Amino acid sequence: MQTRLYLLLSAWLIVSCAPVREMSNKEKHMPSIGDIGKHSKSLVHSTFHKVGTPSLKDPIALSVMEFPFTKSKFKKYLEMETAKGKKPRLTYVDSLPNKPKYLCVEIADKIGIKEALNYAHNNGVKTYLENDDQYTIITKIAVTSDKATMTALTKSDAISLIDNRNGNITLEVLKGQDRSFINLSTMEVFDYEVSGFCWGETKYGKKQIEALSSNGESCPRGTEKKAYKLDNSTSFLKL
Whole-prediction pTM: 0.81
- What digits encode the pLDDT tens for the residues 19-37? 322 333 444 457 899 999 9
| Alpha carbon distances (Å) from 212 to 14, 26, 196, 225 | 44, 27, 6, 10
User: What angle, 0 to 180 degrees and rounded to 10, lies between the N-to-C axes of helices 110-118 and 123-130?
Assistant: 100
- What digits encode the pLDDT tens for the residues 58-87? 999 999 999 999 999 999 999 989 888 888
- Residue ranges of the domains in the chain? 32-196
- What digits encode the pLDDT tens for the residues 94-146? 999 999 999 999 999 999 999 999 999 999 999 989 999 999 999 999 999 99
Q: Quickly count: other Cβ atoms within 10 Å of residue 133's Cβ.
A: 16
